[in-house]
Amino acid sequence: MNRKPNVAVVGATGAVGVEMIETLEKRNFPVGTLTLLASARSVGKKMKFRGTEIAVQELTADSFKGIDIALFSAGGGISREFAPAAVRAGCVVVDNSSAFRMDDTVPLVVPEINPEDVKKHQGIIANPNCTTAITLMALYPLHQAFQVKRIFASSYQAVSGTGAKAIEELQRQVGEITAGRPVTKEVYPHQIAFNVLPHVDSFLDTGYTKEEMKMQNEGRKIMHHPGFLASVTCVRVPVYRAHSIAVSAEFVKPVTLEAARAALAAAPGLDVVDAPEKKEYPLPLNVSGRYNCQVGRLRLDCALENGLCFWVAGDQLLKGAALNAVQIAEELLK
């Protein structure tokens, strides 16, 4: 591609779509033309890109003529319906939904971990689940050093992972509670303000949720590690933005804190914030709006052999979604 690629953002008005547009601008991605696509109700809405206003157009099967790269973030149903049409039009799709992640013909990519998989695409490249991506940013460098067998993890997931309406719900409920009014619920089955919900995504027959199994299934594919095991509890917390995950990982090789720290310090896209004596550790507030994830609370696991505990936090709208998608598009240009 000698010229600047023409780029489309599908789901441009959603929480992730907005971040995608901003990330393309901030990272100086060489965009020829930018086309913004969304459902009929958003048509005509103006969004800023590099100082000019671009009107949102309705997403149809014919939207992709002349488009080189399409960043999709409009949910699995939309991706399944329109991504094949985009590919037929000669476009490469970077899809942020779960629609194609486990498809054998579709690479599932975190550019800091498996950028070479981008080359294997047949028109579609999948972005991983946000919690999985953030966890692997810290787990993969440790896997390279010590060979991970399994992890036990709990996630602390921000409401923005559900979308813009969930952010409004948390704001509204905080206002209702402080004003002494009854709490209203629309997005979540229970009050989210001043509460935590051990329920992210839909439940499977095993009692795990889909979200909880994504860590194992997607982790295996991204790390090229078919034997990887992950037992996860995903929890929605009253945080606006950025996910955190507490991980206990068990490795094949003996772990030392010194070697673990060195592996993490050398990892791209990751900052070690680990000085508990100064009360310094990763916080969702501190990683909000940042490209890099943070890892801290490093300690040898007292219940596992060759085990290490750590706490990792990252902005799930960025590394967990928009930033990762744009980084994949950057790999496509290489």
For the annotated catalytic residues, the residue numbers are 130, 243
Q: How many residues appear in the chain? A: 334
Report the distance separating Cα 307 and Cα 299, nearest Å. 9
Taking the C-alpha atoms of 94, 319, 17 and 77 in order, what is their torsion angle to the nearest 10 degrees? 50
Q: Of 244, 245, 258, nearest to 300 (Cα)? A: 258
For residues 311-332, one letter each, b for 16 or more C-beta atoms within 10 angstroms of the residue's C-beta and e for the rest, the string is bbbbbbbbbbbbbbbbbbbebb
How many angstroms separate the first and last alpha carbons of the chain?
Answer: 9
Q: Of 326, 156, 143, 148, nearest to 240 (Cα)? A: 156
Report the distance separating Cα 37 and Cα 8, nearest Å. 7
Look at residue 86 and give its three-state secondary structure: helix
Determine contact, residues 138/243, Cβ cutoff 8 Å. no
Look at residue 196 and give its three-state secondary structure: coil
Q: Of 260, 251, 200, nearest to 227 (Cα)? A: 251
Q: Structure tokens of 243?
A: 């996910």
